[in-house]
Structure 1
């Protein structure tokens, strides 16, 4: 039995034990590997996290580097601050226009002299209203009407040289027209009712009515204020001479009679001087004793519409006041009435620039002060020329010079003088008389009457 038991437990044999020991030596090394991998696996997994730490330092290193970029941002805002500073440069441009506005307000130096409605030397900036009016004028097509070739240059001259309120009023009249004929009537109303009377010697010519009912109502309103016509006053010239020290206010030449009275001083330039109306006497002269004709009412309506400042300083009964007169040498007086010389108001009170135009005689220019400026000294006893009235005369000079209206009026006047002296006004029995021509000339005859 014992024998069987030893054979039944072979594991107790030396061979079996050696095999077990070999197996045990072999298995432990093998078993740990499978078990080791799990522990070893975490280490490999740990290294990745450990690897990121080394990688994390780089991100941590960039943060030090990031601050430099963050430092530029503070520097970047300064560049961003300039942009806000750049807009201020953009703001100055809007501030630059205001410097341009002063030119438009440049004429208000006349405000102290009561000329708040006077504008600048020229219309430096046109309103959209005036621009639209010029477009309407340019679109006019000739209709074979009398003097219509003057329409465009004439209306544009008025729109350029009238004071601001006058320009606006005219622009509205132009834009209210609905046909070429109405536009022509607007022009002829100005031509016959303002331009022609300015060159008239004694009485105003016939006036073409405005096509606008509002203007016709204004004529009726003005007519109610016109009572008696004025008569020429001999004391007018005498008072002007006394106020102006018997000298031409432009050339400074002494009146010849006064020169003789003062003992004929050898170093004094002298010549015949006269008292001159600035706004012509014809504006206040009409036939009859009362009640101005409609033509005269139309003329004063246009005068006030185009030169609103005159409402406050001149009326029919004031045509012979000293504020509407100056003393001029006879030759200068003639040219002053032809609108070839003017006294343009300046920014200095009572100081004027002497302006001459192309038809002013060159031989007479040396008598004008070399600096082209004259100053009218205040006078405690006699009223000096009104700046608003001299301004209106100067602007009419510019209007005549910028268009052919002045030359046309002079031509009509010459034709009338020739007609009166030639006998051509007689209607021939043989039917050869040019009646249309005679009527055209006769219409303008009143200008030279």
Structure 2
């Protein structure tokens, strides 16, 4: 993608100013939410991600190209990540590793995708259970299926992946699925460059740094991007943030101060990575500020309830096709 000519002053503009200038020239069409999506997505990104998005927007010399950029971000990152929910694949499900992050933002066909067999879910679950003393990191409730103190509150605990694991599961024999997953990882590394700085690849999705134990209903809200962990400035301490659409029951079992401290109990395994939690929190903020989280949930519910497409042609086929491949996974409990 070639950049429009820039003078010295335009090259020195802040990412915020670049976005505002570009959107100031944009002419909206009917039912066009390009401006809203771009502004709100920009607002939740880290500084380096904002700089990349500003560069991409500046290179969109026509409004049609800007619309395509926003559509690519929405259908190639936001929608499939939201649609993947809080589900965890079975131990038999393979996933595929892209060895490195490509410089090209558009040419996803050149990505090198290698098939590998994921680490057993049971091993990760056992490590996470031991690391937290068989407790939920947010509520401190004990596992209902392991020895615990007398009169301790107990619950079903599940392994929650921070960067959702099943966005890496796809059928390599289906080119459209391979392309879609390549797009997700190109996009997420483009706008959250810390993943590349951390050398975080798909292979590490199923590791302790990307996982924690949560009570079942909290896991669902976390995976559905209706709950997130915000760093407080104290090492390994987080504020558990909920939103208007967060379900009531999970909120009731959270501690009154909404603070969660990740304290290792046993083993030398990594604690949840603060950068990964920050990415999850950024995406959660976007889905809850924009209403797009509700929109995606409604699309998936419509698809499930109607058993496919609506007979009157009202179903948003494009959005459903973008989400369909990533919404079929099976929850695994401990």
TM-score, normalisation: structure 1: 0.60
1:388 aligns with 2:275: yes
Tell me the alpha carbon deviations over residues 349-374 of structure 1, each in whole angstroms, 9 at most, x when there is no partner: 22212111111123432322222222
CA distance in 2, matches of 1:230, 1:186: 34
Deviation at 1:436, TM superposition (A): 6.8
Tell me the alpha carbon deviations over residues 296-339 of structure 1, each in whole angstroms, 9 at most, x when there is no partner: 11111111111111122521111111111010000000100111
Residues 265 and 234 from structure 1, CA distance in 2 versus in 1: closer, same or farther, beyond 3 angstroms? same
Aligned to 1:255: 143
Q: Secondary structure in 2 aligned to 1:342?
A: strand
Deviation at 1:133, TM superposition (A): 1.0
Aligned to 2:14: 128
Match of 1:398 among 285, 295, 306: 285
CA distance in 1, matches of 2:67, 2:117: 32
Tell me the alpha carbon deviations over residues 143-192 of structure 1, each in whole angstroms, 9 at most, x when there is no partner: 45xxx644222211121111000011001111111222211111111111
1:270 aligns with 2:154: yes
Match of 1:285 among 169, 172, 182: 169
Tell me the alpha carbon deviations over residues 17-43 of structure 1, each in whole angstroms, 9 at most, x when there is no partner: xxxxxxxxxxxxxxxxxxxxxxxxxxx
CA distance in 1, matches of 2:276, 2:309: 40
On the 8 A contact 2:124/2:208 being kept in 1, the answer is yes
Residues 339 and 132 from structure 1, CA distance in 2 versus in 1: closer, same or farther, beyond 3 angstroms? same
Residues 411 and 141 from structure 1, CA distance in 2 versus in 1: closer, same or farther, beyond 3 angstroms? farther
Aligned to 2:220: 334
CA distance in 2, matches of 1:348, 1:410: 34
Aligned to 1:294: 179
On the 8 A contact 1:256/1:270 being kept in 2, the answer is yes
RMSD of aligned residue pairs (Cα, Å):
2.7
Matches within 5 A, 1:86-105: none
Match of 1:243 among 128, 131, 134: 131
CA distance in 2, matches of 1:418, 1:370: 37
CA distance in 1, matches of 2:14, 2:153: 52
CA distance in 2, matches of 1:371, 1:438: 41
Match of 2:192 among 307, 311, 325: 307
CA distance in 2, matches of 1:364, 1:338: 13
More helix, by proportion: 1
Q: Which has the larger radius of gyration?
A: 1
Matches within 5 A, 1:44-193: 128-143=14-29, 149-193=32-76
Aligned to 1:114: none
Aligned to 2:327: 448
Q: Secondary structure in 2 aligned to 1:365?
A: helix
CA distance in 2, matches of 1:315, 1:309: 11
Q: Secondary structure in 2 aligned to 1:215?
A: coil
On the 8 A contact 2:60/2:66 being kept in 1, the answer is yes
Match of 1:199 among 79, 82, 87: 82
Structure 2: tracts of 5 or more residues without a match: 1-12, 90-102, 329-334
Matches within 5 A, 1:370-449: 370-378=256-264, 380-420=267-307, 433-435=311-313, 437=315, 439-440=317-318, 442-443=320-321, 444-449=323-328
Residues 150 and 241 from structure 1, CA distance in 2 versus in 1: closer, same or farther, beyond 3 angstroms? farther
Q: Which structure has more RCO (C-alpha within 8 Å, separation ≥ 6)?
A: 2
Tell me the alpha carbon deviations over residues 30-57 of structure 1, each in whole angstroms, 9 at most, x when there is no partner: xxxxxxxxxxxxxxxxxxxxxxxxxxxx
On the 8 A contact 2:136/2:142 being kept in 1, the answer is yes
Aligned to 2:243: 357
